[in-house]
Structure 1
Amino acid sequence: MNRLSNGILDFANMAVCSGLLVSTYDAIPEVKNETQNVCSVTCKDSGGDSGSGPRTIAFVCCDGGGDSNTNDDISLVDSGYASFPMFVFLKTEVNRSVSIRKAAIELFASIFDQLSVLKDQIDINRPLIVTGRSLGGSVASLFTLWLLDTIYLKTSKTPLCLTFGSPLLGDNALQRAISERPTWISCFLHVISNQDQVPRFLARGHMPFGATLFISESGCACFEDPQSILELIEATSLAKLEGSQFIDYGSMLKRLKYKAIRQGKIEEADACDISDPVKCGITLQLLAIEAIKPENIDTSPLILSIRRNIERFRKGKKNNSDQTKKLNEVKVYMACMGWYKKQSKNQGGYYDCYKTAESKSKDQGQTKEDLVIYQKKLNKYWEKTVKDVDRMPKREGATSIRPRVLYAGTNYRRMVEPLDIAVYYREGNTDYINKGRSQHYKLLEEWEKSSSKPAERHKVSSTTEDSCFWAHVEEALIACRNLTEENDTSTEDKESWNKSLFRFEAYVMSLIRMHTLSPETFQEGSSFMKWWEKYKTLRGISYKSDLTGFMNNKKVQNDLLVLDEYKILS
């Protein structure tokens, strides 16, 4: 809880004292064109001739000084705005309507050709800062979102968007759309002076996103909870000044930079109740940005409101953690299942041991009951992870899942789905692929196939790459059983079963040639070998095929499997 009170205050002081905000603001050119609603973009490179320093892209807009508050200034339009549907990608299956400030979209559209050329020149391996003041900050935010959805879609490196005195950009749905992407929300820092009127031109339904750094002549404070930011934007508003008022953020930040780093004035700190560090930390921040006065510390309702907002926000953030946060814990369960697989190697194989074997004693290692627990935990984690990823917008040839997560998900699918198949057929069911397969397995397989770098077989698990292999084996066993049993089976059914067995033969040979079958497939007593014995009897000794040639040539079979084992373990 103490981190709740101190973490964002420490960040505020660090951001102000680092000099980054001052240098970024200095990169924004002065407004020279007095025509309202005109936007331009400039670039500034740091690092001298080497070009190794950050590149700053700055937006400057003339918006009439920000002293008007007409319906045109604050109106919202759908992100799929008919005249310029560039930001429709922000919508998801659970977030179907996203609204953005109309003025910002129209300004972005007015320089879109220039931005397209600029985007093609961006080097993703070089630090990038996108910035803008007032309405230019809103255009900077839109440009950053566009970059995140295009050139930064498949990389962990992201641009940093710093805005100064920018009005709120969109509604609650926009805030949710950005917050659902942990790497996106961390890209935005909005700086607001308590003397700036522009951010306070709000319409009902506007909501901030990212972190907001509030500054005043006496201090600074940083918040990331949208509701608290909204309340503080109103609370820190001074009496409306006559006419337009230009706020020199550069001078304010320089003065704050050279002040001693401290958590409020000494007399203010003494007035706080240090027995409640959360309340004390929030109080110091509100005093620093002049949202409350020292004499109102004990009576201000804003302190309690901000505390409730932050705690609610942190709780929600914890519940909606990043998809990789629990990956290390999940890997422990995978390791335990890998150990069980190793134990079962000489007991009919991983699949059949799970399907038929009795539980082992504890001194023999992982028991079947242990495996069931791990299986449930893994399924629960991956079902949620896949669902969260699938909610994200989809673009052709790409998903929102990170390569590291996809790799882990592929190994999970190859390790755990065979166990689900075992349970399915043990209970007497048929046609797993069409009737029993979970959607999250289908999506993981689909994403792995569309990946530019498909996952290789895990060295420890040495699993068959097709996680549905054992379902095909079970169906082949059912077909053999149906053909050998004496019953009133129609000629059409027999023909269908025979065709399915020929297809299965071709399928198995394709896996053998690609070295994607686990060696345990050919262990004595495995379901596959049981099928093979039935199939040989069914076809007769005169039947010849590629598979029969492979299965009858023990030397070729052993050489291939030894090579396969070597590839897995090397």
Structure 2
Amino acid sequence: MDFDTAPIPSFNCGLDLSSLVVSSDLLHHSWNAISELRTDPRRNLGSSPAFLRYRETQVRNYRLIAFSASAKHLHGGGDLIPSSDVPEFRFICSKSNPDFSIDRAAMSLFDSARQDLSTLKAQVQDGAKSTAYLITGHSLGGSIASLFTLWLLDSLNPVTTKRPLCITYGSPLLGDCGFQQAISQYSAWNSCFLHAVHKDDHIPTIFPQTTYRPFGSYLFLSSSGMACFEAPTISELLERTKPERRDNMELVDFDYGPTVKYLRHNYVCKDTMKLSGRETDSYKAGIVLQLTAIGVLQNEQQHDSALMKWVDRSIVEPERMAITQKMETFNSAKKLNEVKVNMARMEWYRKTSENEGYYYYDDYKSKRLTRDYSVVMFKRTLTDYWEKLVKEVEKKPQKEEANLRNRWLYAGTNFRRMVEPLDIAEYYKVEGNEDYWTRGRLNCYRKLEKWLEEARRPEVNLATRKQNIKLSLTGDSCFWAHVEEAMKSCEAYNNGDRGRSVKRLEEFQGYVYGLVESYSVSPEIFIGNSSFMKWWKVYDEMDLKMDSKLVWFMRNRMYYKYREGRYDPMEDEE
């Protein structure tokens, strides 16, 4: 199996997931809190007290926060406000998804209660260190519950606090495609949202689905059963199950109480729905069973070829793709052991080459032995891992991106310094290749190096670097590209291109000695058969009379002292 490829799901677990939610009593307790809140006039929030209500209670081992706001305050056509006008939610932007829009009515209501919500947020931040939170809301209150949960997620430390779960009832769609992608691309946040909708509820379909898009998971409810689907299939299902509504019909909040009560007592699925024995696709069979459970399909319609084509195109394939992508979502912690094993193999390769009088860069470039070919697989696996990680990090909200970058900075730096030299070896092995930095360097190397610079970690002192020099990797992972370009400069000089070549060689010598002076280059570069020593032999025989610290260092063989951690630039200059 490929390193990051998840298997295609064979079974759909929507019915099992929906049964799990109902059997856990999460729906029962959350809807009860909403029902009690709607009849309690003392629980108003914000500058428009009739609009939004709030209630916090203790339920078993978690805290429950409920919001309620009437749908009559919604605008029938929908109106989106750009992310540039909602700076408090700009944190969900990422480099791959820089803009989004949120429903204006929901955002206005959120702003009207901002002071109270800020106080509540501070309380939850402190409480989430030891207590799980369930945040819920009905109708427009569900939109506020989603916004509050999202606002809260940005402020919680995922290491020391518990992420909340948000369950909404009959909530209208909240944002556009950019908003959907911003949340959906980060599975840790997307999994915090479960939206319950009834097929007879008008509110979830009030806004045009050409501009509004769903996120999270959806729990479809009906008087006959329930089903659970991922966001990509929701638009089609909402449109298919959309109740008829006259233009002048007043928006009325749907009562989920009877349905929740019924499902609570009947959550174990009885074998009253049967699939056609001709259905060989077990995943599709699970989808059809769910659609039948919520009344979108009838048993006899399972033989309707035109209807089944719609099921395939609009439900089965998007749902299967969403689940596959969810399974493929990069879990760096889970892959860490494999990464460590392959880094250990790379270290073994490096040391084995050194023991035989070669530097692993040159061994890999020449590929003289079987082990040189075996290491190709280790390198590819590591590179694929970090390329995928970097891409995933760039999709994440800004704060989460920074957290992940810092968490993996040390491992990423070691990978870059160990593996990039091998990519450089492959690049310059092709005759005519030059300027590796702009023509051959992978994005993951650029990003990992940039993140290290932005982290501004304190420098390791010189004494420590001298003490550990035998184990160290060269600080600049592009060192060997500089060596290869210096060799080309020597060739160009000997072929008559002297002015530019001399300048480049001067810069290269200053660059190398700067690494030597700070003990930032591996002593292995001075192994007799290394490409660097080959460059030095060519350069030392040229007719150049260039006086530099590196020339003095090399001609006096100070690298022997350097390899033992005994070289002191200040003493030798004196």
Shorter-chain TM-score category? 0.7 to 0.9
Q: How does 1:497-508 map to 2 (within 5 A)?
A: 497-498=505-506, 500-508=508-516
What residue number does 2:32 align with?
26
What residue number does 1:352 align with?
362
1:188 aligns with 2:193: yes
Cα distance in 2 for partners of 1:96, 1:557 equals: 49
Report the CA distance between 1:20 and its aligned residue.
2.1
Opposite residue 170 of structure 2, the aligned amino acid is G
What residue number does 1:466 align with?
476
Out of 30, 38, 57, the residue aligned to residue 51 of structure 2 is: 38
Opposite residue 64 of structure 2, the aligned amino acid is T
Cα distance in 2 for partners of 1:344, 1:244 equals: 75
Out of 79, 83, 100, the residue aligned to residue 83 of structure 2 is: 79
Q: How does 1:402-551 map to 2 (within 5 A)?
A: 408-426=411-429, 427=431, 429-433=433-437, 436-451=440-455, 463-474=473-484, 489-490=498-499, 494=502, 497-498=505-506, 500-510=508-518, 512=519, 517-530=521-534
Report the CA distance between 1:163 and its aligned residue.
0.9
What residue number does 1:132 align with?
137
Q: How does 1:159-558 map to 2 (within 5 A)?
A: 159-205=164-210, 206-227=212-233, 229-237=234-242, 245-259=252-266, 261-262=268-269, 265-269=270-274, 277-299=282-304, 304-308=309-313, 309-315=315-321, 318=324, 321-324=328-331, 327=335, 334=343, 336-345=345-354, 346-355=356-365, 357-361=366-370, 366-368=371-373, 370-372=374-376, 374-376=378-380, 378-379=382-383, 382-392=386-396, 394=398, 399=402, 401=404, 408-426=411-429, 427=431, 429-433=433-437, 436-451=440-455, 463-474=473-484, 489-490=498-499, 494=502, 497-498=505-506, 500-510=508-518, 512=519, 517-530=521-534, 552=558, 554=560, 557-558=563-564
Opposite residue 480 of structure 2, the aligned amino acid is W
Q: How does 1:83-162 map to 2 (within 5 A)?
A: 84-92=86-94, 94-95=96-97, 97-121=99-123, 122-123=125-126, 124-126=128-130, 127-152=132-157, 158-162=163-167
Distance 1:472 1:560, change over 3 A: farther
Cα distance in 1 for partners of 2:206, 2:54 equals: 24
Distance 1:422 1:63, change over 3 A: same
Cα distance in 1 for partners of 2:287, 2:330 equals: 30
Cα distance in 2 for partners of 1:550, 1:27 equals: 82
Distance 1:40 1:89, change over 3 A: same
SS at match of 1:443: helix
Report the CA distance between 1:137 and its aligned residue.
1.0
Distance 1:279 1:446, change over 3 A: closer
SS at match of 1:323: coil
Report the CA distance between 1:168 and its aligned residue.
1.1
Report the CA distance between 1:147 and its aligned residue.
3.1
Cα distance in 2 for partners of 1:157, 1:551 equals: 59
Opposite residue 215 of structure 1, the aligned amino acid is L
Cα distance in 2 for partners of 1:402, 1:45 equals: 36
Opposite residue 117 of structure 2, the aligned amino acid is L
Opposite residue 70 of structure 2, the aligned amino acid is C
Report the CA distance between 1:468 and its aligned residue.
1.9
What residue number does 2:4 align with?
none
Q: Which moved more, 1:312-321 or 1:236-245?
A: 236-245
In 2, are the aligned partners of 1:80 and 1:86 still within 8 Å (CA)?
Answer: no
Cα distance in 2 for partners of 1:21, 1:560 equals: 70
Out of 53, 58, 61, the residue aligned to residue 66 of structure 2 is: 58
Report the CA distance between 1:517 and its aligned residue.
4.2
In 1, are the aligned partners of 2:417 and 2:476 still within 8 Å (CA)?
Answer: yes
SS at match of 2:564: helix
Q: Deviations over 1:454-512 (max 9, x none)?
A: 99999x996334312333444566677888x696744x9746643542343122221x1
What residue number does 1:8 align with?
14
What residue number does 2:570 align with?
none
Cα distance in 2 for partners of 1:454, 1:235 equals: 59
Report the CA distance between 1:240 and its aligned residue.
5.5
Q: Deviations over 1:79-120 (max 9, x none)?
A: 323xx3433444555545523221111112222233334334
RMSD: 4.5
Cα distance in 2 for partners of 1:542, 1:274 equals: 79
Question: Highest relative contact order (Cα 8 Å, sep 6+), 1 or 2?
Answer: 2
Q: Which moved more, 1:533-542 or 1:239-248?
A: 533-542
Cα distance in 2 for partners of 1:11, 1:419 equals: 47
SS at match of 1:138: helix
SS at match of 2:303: coil
Opposite residue 60 of structure 1, the aligned amino acid is S
Report the CA distance between 1:278 and its aligned residue.
3.8
In 2, are the aligned partners of 1:279 and 1:303 still within 8 Å (CA)?
Answer: no
Cα distance in 2 for partners of 1:187, 1:408 equals: 29
SS at match of 1:422: helix
Opposite residue 195 of structure 2, the aligned amino acid is H
Distance 1:250 1:425, change over 3 A: same
SS at match of 2:273: helix
Cα distance in 2 for partners of 1:433, 1:343 equals: 29
Q: Deviations over 1:305-328 (max 9, x none)?
A: 334323234236536832337946
Distance 1:392 1:453, change over 3 A: same
In 2, are the aligned partners of 1:410 and 1:455 still within 8 Å (CA)?
Answer: no
Cα distance in 2 for partners of 1:300, 1:17 equals: 35
Cα distance in 2 for partners of 1:294, 1:116 equals: 50
Opposite residue 330 of structure 2, the aligned amino acid is Q
Q: Which moved more, 1:154-163 or 1:191-200?
A: 154-163
Distance 1:461 1:7, change over 3 A: farther
TM-score with structure 1 setting the length: 0.77
Cα distance in 2 for partners of 1:280, 1:405 equals: 42
Distance 1:27 1:493, change over 3 A: same
Report the CA distance between 1:11 and its aligned residue.
0.6
Cα distance in 2 for partners of 1:311, 1:273 equals: 19
Report the CA distance between 1:144 and its aligned residue.
2.4
Point out where structure 1 has 5 or more consecutive residues left out of the alignment.
48-52, 562-570
Indicate the percent of aligned positions where both proteins have the same amino acid: 39
In 2, are the aligned partners of 1:341 and 1:349 still within 8 Å (CA)?
Answer: yes
In 2, are the aligned partners of 1:425 and 1:474 still within 8 Å (CA)?
Answer: yes
Report the CA distance between 1:199 and its aligned residue.
1.4
Opposite residue 237 of structure 2, the aligned amino acid is L
Opposite residue 466 of structure 1, the aligned amino acid is D
Distance 1:471 1:16, change over 3 A: same
Report the CA distance between 1:413 and its aligned residue.
1.6
Cα distance in 2 for partners of 1:302, 1:250 equals: 32
Cα distance in 1 for partners of 2:221, 2:386 equals: 43
In 2, are the aligned partners of 1:348 and 1:524 still within 8 Å (CA)?
Answer: yes
Cα distance in 2 for partners of 1:70, 1:270 equals: 39
The aligned length equals 534
Cα distance in 1 for partners of 2:508, 2:557 equals: 19
